[in-house]
Amino acid sequence: MIRTRRTRRLLAFAGIGVAGALVLSACSADTSSPDATAAPEWEYTAQTAAPSGDIDSYSWVSYSEPYSLDYAYAFDYADNQVLANVCESLLRLNPDFTLSPGLAEAFEHPTPETWVYTIRDGVTFHDGTPLTAADAVASLSRHLDPEVGSSWYSVYQNVASIEQTGDREVTVTMNGPDSQFNLAMGGSAGVVESAATLTEKGADYGNSTGLVNCTGPFALTEWKSGESVTLTRYDDYWDDTLRARAGEVDILFMTDPNARVNALKSGEVDGGWMIPADAIGQLQDSGKGDMYFGLNTAVGSLIVNNLEGPLGDERVRRALLMAMDRQGILDAAAKGYGEVTNALTTESVWVGASGAGLKEAFEGLEEYPYDVEAAKKLIDEAGVAGEEIVIATAPISNDFTVISQGAAAAAQSIGLTATIETVSPSAYTALFSDPTAREGIDLFYTSWYLSSPDPLEMYSVLRTGEFSNYGNWSDPEFDALVNEAVTIDDPAARSEVTAQAQRIANEQLPWLPLFQGPMTLFLGDRVTGVAPSVAFMYYPWAATIGSR
């Protein structure tokens, strides 16, 4: 995966109407000094203009083919941007990262150990069969099955049982208090599929042969392996407010970033997420549509995958981060669309945090200024000069190239040997789900987003033994803090404990934080109506798009 894994809001926004869109804030660099490098001017947009009507069809472009459309393995942008329009979860994660009822019309939390969901009546799967509580039980229970090997197991690790406790009622019982479980039910971890389909399709479920059978505004009607997927409007969709405005959507897979940009510039395709930063200006000047910058909760980081090599020494991790000109990398990789950060979360995900929690989380963090000489001294102290690190990259967009080359140059500048290993976009996605794909890799880049409105999601995956703790980093104090925070329902009190975990991660650097920036979107001149938010991972964004 490019796995810029999920997050939430973005800053406290104030809304102003501009050109039919809700513009939230404007960002630009201070150019008062003649030596200042001007960052591009850009605006946050919460919602593009409403469609003038429906549209027969439109096309979209994705940087990669999905790894899988089985919700248990949908763990990245390419997977979830498709799945979000076809399958639905118990709760709905909205473009502003609030949670609202989804396939569960209501939920209760009667004890610290139980969550009770009332399954919505009158919903049908794309084959016309009705949604039942038994479907929800079967779907959620797959995450507990070691034979499935769900990428979302961490959400379920405290689950003791999932049972149907009424005609339309499902009760999830935990082994102890778990504040995070319900927050995750707005993402892939909360998807409900037909139990009959799961049984019928078996190992073919979610692939290009078996497809899926869900409840969303679109049905997945075709998957041409290596080429595209086709979504067709489901006319019996239950939610009139999200009835698809398009009869059909074709999502094309283009692994070559130049091909993607050229397709958008020429009008060959009508839109796309995650526009390469070096193409933003070209698209703005193309006359074929508009660029938008939306809510994003991702932090671009280098994942330390191998702690058996030189990066197992904390001094070496610190040295490498200090040897990277992160502002220069941001300018080259993202053309200045963003800012350098020292934390693995954005302030926007700290929803409901107390003032004390936010202060503890972000004030006084170690900053790791660009200082090659100081970094060299740390390498000398660690005694690892001349040792090799391998950095994985893929031809997904310019930032992957810049960041891998920047990391390699930084390593070599302080006396390490660095090798860049380039793999295909699909092979890069496999790094996030297949341990064998990561063998021999020391570092790889991620733009890691959160799927729920809480920073604890980020730090939960860094506990000892977690699926996404790729380098197997371990710190007992960190684990204890995260485990304590998980038991706290009140987000303000929880934030104060989570903040302590963030400080440990900032000091020990299991991942190396680089920068954060907006979600980017291009809409061609035929279409409009979508919210340019990272919530497109889980919200049926394609259904909102209609004719300009």
Q: In this predicted structure, what is the pLDDT of residue 4?
A: 35
| Parallel/antiparallel/unpaired status of strands 289-294 and 271-273 | unpaired
Q: In this predicted structure, what is the pLDDT of residue 177?
A: 94
Q: In this predicted structure, what is the pLDDT of residue 460?
A: 93
- What is d(CA 253, CA 188) in angstroms, rounded to the nearest whole number? 21
Q: In this predicted structure, what is the pLDDT of residue 422?
A: 96
Q: In this predicted structure, what is the pLDDT of residue 111?
A: 95
Q: In this predicted structure, what is the pLDDT of residue 38?
A: 64
Asked if residue 221 lies in contact with residue 228, where contact means CB atoms within 8 angstroms, the answer is no
Residues linked to residue 271 through DSSP beta bridges, in sequence order: 523
Q: In this predicted structure, what is the pLDDT of residue 37?
A: 53
Which tokens hold the place of 407? 């990391």
**Which whole-number Å values give the CA distances from 263 to 67, 76, 289, 485, in the listed order?**
23, 23, 12, 46
Place of tokens 């869900």: 214
Q: In this predicted structure, what is the pLDDT of residue 207?
A: 96
- Cβ of 205: how many Cβ atoms within 10 Å? 22
- What is d(CA 83, CA 129) in angstroms, rounded to the nearest whole number? 19
Q: In this predicted structure, what is the pLDDT of residue 435?
A: 93
Q: In what order do the strands lie in the sheet with 289-294?
A: 16-18, 21-27, 42-45, 289-294, 519-524, 271-273, 55-62, 246-253, 228-233, 218-224
Give the CA angle between residues 11, 90, 5 to the nearest 5°. 40
Concatenating the DSSP letter of every residue in 422-448 gives E--HHHHHHTTT-GGGGTT--EEEEEE
- pLDDT averaged over 10-residue windows placed end to end, the chain, 548 residues: 32 25 32 50 93 98 94 92 98 92 97 97 98 98 95 92 98 95 96 98 96 98 97 98 98 94 96 92 94 93 97 98 96 90 92 94 96 98 97 90 96 97 91 93 93 92 93 98 95 97 98 95 98 95 98
**Which whole-number Å values give the CA distances from 337 to 137, 235, 330, 334, 449, in the listed order?**
43, 40, 8, 5, 17
**Which whole-number Å values give the CA distances from 19 to 49, 430, 458, in the listed order?**
8, 41, 36
Q: In this predicted structure, what is the pLDDT of residue 357?
A: 97
Residue 362 per-residue DSSP state: H
Q: In this predicted structure, what is the pLDDT of residue 297?
A: 87
Q: In this predicted structure, what is the pLDDT of residue 451?
A: 83
